[in-house]
A and B are shown apart, each in its own frame.
Chain A
Amino acid sequence: MKVSCEALRQVEAICRKFGNDSGELISILHECQNTLGYLPEEVQRVIARELGIPASKVYGVVTFYSFFSMVPKGKYPVSVCLGTACYVRGSDKVLEEFKRVLGIEVGETTPDGKFSLDCLRCVGACGLAPVATIGEKVYGRLNPSDIKKIIAEFED
């Protein structure tokens, strides 16, 4: 997938906003991902060039933090909590069910671009464990048998 020239201009502008300071790499990556939805190679190269650091370093940071993604997120990003409280209450099984229903692995996006699947560690709602989020919406006390119905809510 080719990133548009306009998007790359936006990336340059974000870098400039942070003074092209390599110490602000993580903030810049956050803002770029919020703006574009993901951080493909071309975007990382532009950031490396603007900040005067090797692309290998940018790539290292992008792959280190699970928040950053090199593939576009779905219209409805699904995140399953694998924090301790959720895990002991069976969130691994919830995750498996999301994988099965959506037909994708963690870090992937459905071919129609609608759903993407990720894991995270704690959303601060341990009392509702196991928890998953879809977009801004939080689902608690999940049971694998609920998943199909929840996904159906998002079918247009």
Chain B
Amino acid sequence: MENMITLTIDNRAVSVPKGTTVLDAAASIGINIPALCHMDLKGTCVKNSPASCRICVVEVEGRRNLAPSCATLVTEGMVVRTNSARVVKARKTVAELILSDHPNDCLTCPKCNDCELQKLVTRFNIRRMTYKGEQSVRKKEETAAITRNMDKCILCRRCETVCNQVQTVGVLGAVRRGFETTIAPTFDRMFKDTDCTYCGQCVAVCPTGALTERDNTDRLLDDLCNPDKIVIAQPAPAVRVALGEEFGMEPGTIVTGKLATSLRYLGFDYVFDTDFAADLTIMEEGAEILHRLQAYLGGNKGVKLPIMTSCCPAWVNFYEHNYPDLLEYPSSAKSPAQMFGAIAKNYWAQKMGIPREKLVVVSIMPCLAKKYECEREEFSVNGNPDVDYSISTRELARLIKRSNIDFKSLPDTDFDTPMGESSGAGAIFGATGGVMEAALRTVYEVYTGKTLPRLEFTDVRGLDGIKEATIDLNGFQLKVCVAHTLGNARILMDKLRAGELNYHVVEIMACPGGCIGGAGQPYHHGNVEILKARSRAIYREDEGKPIRKSHENPDIKQLYKVYLGEPLGELSEKLLHTHYFDKSIK
């Protein structure tokens, strides 16, 4: 084992592969060295290791100064102490110095109880503010999706790393120097005046309350208590495999039934399901895929291939800002959440005799960009949006706690009809590759007229950044590609621009792992196992469904029969499709 290194950490011998950091070596034997700026979502491209906070320092025998364990590689025979008095005191001092320029308003901070700095303060037994210094006063901003309060920023650079290296959006960066240093959008602008896609991954990794979601819970509470409003809910696929975490349940616990019950107890008049609209998306997007393929096979050279999915609102923003020359490639299908809104405020409201302005459609999403999507002008009629607003998984959990509901002991209930029934294909939208797999189940059967021998397309599952597969459609080899994170999307889009992208269908999701890793989900705090558990749960949910193909969902069939007509028909085009804008900064 020449590539193994043996060292001693806190008097215990440990052997780890060459190239391992002291931090990881210690973790392998259950020694949990505290860290703050460091974040490594192993198996994905999310990694931040600037060694700037100095919280993770350790004592290395023979070395004069303390070493940051996140950036120090193991060497043969190394002797490390992670808990000597010198280390413990130094670590505490570092935390105290960070606190000296922090607002310390934890009682009312939106990140209270989820803040990594707050956890360290408790862990280090800091019971008073040791140092008093000058306080930074930095810009604050509330966008449709993200709230920014950089007074709480500890300059860990995690947001800068995800924005630039993972997402390649390139908006957030450190500006100025010394005490004046702040993390700000390019040219100190507001997010809304930059290429920000509102993917929210900066929020997902922020250790403190500097970057958080825009909170819509008070607005929702007001609507739920207003007797003049009919308030209806649509939770996304990824919410039901993560919400339980907020109540101490194991990651990957499926809480679909409790979710429906909790929404009823909160006072929603009807509890429907975005999964239903995911099936509807497959009907429209699937028809569009078939339409373009048939044109292509019929010899039409002008047809735009690959067709790309358009469910993810951050991805939509990304190509509107960065690839305005390629706007004809993405499917024109609206996202499931917006399709739901359009059907609810037109078909269902008419059927129920509810005036549009009385109806409040609320989406519960794993996502922050959805909040922005609700505000897009093209998704409203006379200023009344199809989806009034969106709350995140975290916000729903807060509202449940506030409303005295003991989530864990709730009975299971079903969603209401007619917009609550869904197939397993709709359920898997929440994981990267899910939309592709759902589309393939339908496209295969409609195109070939045959029943799929095996429903699972495992090639497009999992956390690999870019996945590809080839599917035989009666002799035609359909080539598909699935990517998650916007950095991987950029790789594909640059190839497309260069004329080198040889696929027929491409799925893109902005967040690592897809919606299960969305910025509105319970914080993962760098633990990739949480994302994996959610992903496994998504596929379990699919397996447990009696119907697993969108085109076999009886409520979808009924909707086309009594109202829409056919996919890509006149009414479907009007309600379920959209168009894109050139938003590049000139």
Contacts and interface: CB of A to CB of B under 8 A. Distances in A.
A56 B171 contact: yes
A23 interface: no
Contacts of B581: none
Contact of A60 (B168, B169, B174, B585): B174
Interface string A52-75: 011111011001100000000000
A73 B175 CA distance: 21
Contacts of B585: 45
A53 B169 CA distance: 10
A41 interface: yes
Interface residues of A, number: 12
Contacts of A45: 585
Nearest to B163: A56
B526 interface: no
A55 B186 CA distance: 6
Contact of A56 (B176, B177, B186): B186
Given A54-B164, A54-B170, A59 B177 contact: no
B265 interface: no
Contacts of A56: 163-164, 170-173, 185-186
Given A54-B170, A54-B186, A55-B187, A60 B164 contact: no
Contact of A59 (B164, B168, B173): B173
Contacts of B164: 54, 56-57
A95 B185 CA distance: 32
Classify chain B: how many residues form its interface, as a range.
10 to 19
Interface string A100-124: 0000000000000000000000000
Contacts of A63: 175-177
A39 to B, nearest CB: 11
Mostly, the A contact residues are helix
Nearest to A45: B585
A59 B187 contact: yes
Nearest to A65: B177
B185 to A, nearest CB: 7
Contacts of A55: 170, 186-187
Nearest to B160: A56
B170 A64 contact: no
Contacts of B175: 59-60, 63-64
Interface-centre pick from A55, A56, A60, A63 (highest chain B CB count, 10 A) = A56
Interface in B420-461: none
A56 B161 CA distance: 12
Contacts of B168: 54
A86 to B, nearest CB: 20
A45 B177 CA distance: 21
Interface string B138-174: 0000000000000000000000000110001111111
A47 to B, nearest CB: 13
Nearest to A60: B173
Interface string A6-46: 00000000000000000000000000000000000100110
Nearest to B164: A54
Contacts of A41: 187
Nearest to B182: A63
A133 to B, nearest CB: 22
B6 to A, nearest CB: 38
Contacts of B177: 63-64
A42 to B, nearest CB: 10
Nearest to B175: A63
Given A54-B164, A54-B170, A64 B187 contact: no
A57 B184 CA distance: 11
Contacts of A64: 174-177
Interface string B172-203: 11111100000001110000000000000000
A138 to B, nearest CB: 26
Contacts of A44: 187
B547 to A, nearest CB: 45
Contacts of B171: 54, 56
A131 to B, nearest CB: 23
A59 B175 CA distance: 7
Contacts of B173: 54, 56-57, 59-60
Interface of B: 163-164, 168-177, 185-187, 585
Given A54-B171, A56-B172, 19 more contacts: A44-B187, A45-B585, A53-B170, A54-B164, A54-B168, A54-B170, A54-B173, A55-B170, A55-B186, A55-B187, A56-B173, A57-B164, A59-B173, A60-B174, A60-B175, A63-B175, A64-B174, A64-B175, A64-B177
15 contacts: A54-B168, A54-B170, A54-B173, A55-B186, A56-B164, A56-B172, A56-B186, A57-B173, A59-B186, A59-B187, A60-B173, A63-B176, A64-B174, A64-B175, A64-B177
